Amino acid sequence: MKEQQYLFIDFEFTMPEKGWKTKGFYPEIIEAGIVSVVNGTILHEYSSYVKPERFPVLSKRCKSFLNIEQPQIDSGISFRQLVENMRKINEKRPCTIVTWGNMDMKVLKNNCLQAGVSFPFVGREIDLSMEYKRFFGDQNQTGLWKAVQEYGRDGTGKHHRALDDAMTTYNIFKLVEKDKKYLQKPKPTTIGDLVDFSKLFNHYA
């Protein structure tokens, strides 16, 4: 049986100019970051720029918000190649996909639909932001970097860089899992657990 792997995934998307209505616009993936983890060990880190197909020219708002330039995207791989690369990562081991928020998988699924290609992942999907919200009883969902700062830590690298955000998601995942184990208090040991009474009674029989 193949070992289970966790894929911590983050995408950055295109966005229209603020206040503009662009006919037929939908977010397209322009940067992908994936961290593959098996048994608590990082096996693989994947990062790539991706060329958008429907709206290939980035808006000023997108470039400013993501601190990204058009030539970087123009030199990226095609969306179909990205899907193929993700499919190969998935095929190596059964996987659980972990993202911060639900937008990453929504955009990926829609981009696959628009491109006429099948979704590359088979496995459980975890929205870590909702896990975090339920665990701490927050009313509102917390942003990725705010969440890691609430743990007294810093995010990895730069915010809104796909691989850095994927790594930060993994780091929060480890912290939350550690807290869950801490709160799962073991049952107090009874004297029956310490002494095998059957052997004791046999000794005095």
Find the catalytic residue in 12, 45, 69, 203. Answer: 12
- The alpha-helical segments, DSSP class H, found in the chain are 60-66, 70-74, 79-92, 103-115, 128-136, 144-150, 162-183, 191-194, 197-204
- Residue 20, pLDDT score: 73
Are 70 and 42 in contact by the 8 Å Cβ rule? The answer is no
Q: Is 20 exposed, middle or buried (0-12, 13-18, 19+ CB in 10 A)?
A: exposed
- Residue 185, pLDDT score: 57
Catalytic site includes residue 160: yes
Find the catalytic residue in 31, 44, 160, 203. Answer: 160
Whole-angstrom Cα distance, residue 26 to residue 81?
20
Residue with token string 């601190």: 67
Describe the chain by its helix, strand, coil percentages, rounded to 5.
45, 20, 35
115 Cβ contact partners less than 8 Å away, ≥ 6 residues apart: 53, 79, 80, 83
The tally of domains found in the chain comes to 1
Question: To the nearest whole percent, how much of the chain has pLDDT over 90?
Answer: 59
122 Cβ contact partners less than 8 Å away, ≥ 6 residues apart: 90, 94, 95
User: What is the per-residue pLDDT across 34-61, written as a single tens digit (0 to 9) for each?
Assistant: 999 999 999 999 999 999 999 999 999 9
Place 140 in a pLDDT band, splitting at 50, 70 and 90. low
Domain at 156, CATH number: 3.30.420.10
Give phi and psi for 48, each to the nearest 5. Answer: -160, 150
Catalytic site includes residue 203: no
Higher-pLDDT residue of 157, 4: 4
- Residue 58, pLDDT score: 96
- Write out the residue range of the structural domain in which residue 123 sits: 5-204
